[in-house]
Amino acid sequence: MCTHRPTCPTADSPDREAARTIASHPEQGWSLLCNSVLVFEDTGELLPDGQIIAPRRPRVAV
């Protein structure tokens, strides 16, 4: 799907979040990347094959 140069990472790449945003809906809390990954504001992801990536929140130091 990506036509950028250099080509964006694929949905199954570890760096998939580096792909360009093609649609952003901050009022709904999500963005669509050019590799068809949905990224949510809580850092969760939905991959094109339906796989869910759980949110990865930073640990809070006590």
Q: What is the pLDDT of residues 31-49, one digit of tens each?
A: 999 999 999 999 999 999 9
In this model, does residue 6 exceed pLDDT 90?
A: no
In this model, does residue 56 exceed pLDDT 90?
A: no
Residue 62: the pLDDT is 65
Strand 21-25 vs strand 52-53: parallel, antiparallel, or unpaired? unpaired
Give SS3 for 17.
helix
In this model, does residue 53 exceed pLDDT 80?
A: yes
Phi then psi dihedrals of residue 30, to 5 deg: -145, 160
Q: What is the mean pLDDT of the chain?
A: 90
In this model, does residue 19 exceed pLDDT 70?
A: yes
What residue ranges in the chain does DSSP mark as E strands? 21-25, 30-33, 38-40, 45-46, 52-53
CB 19 within 8 Å of CB 1: no
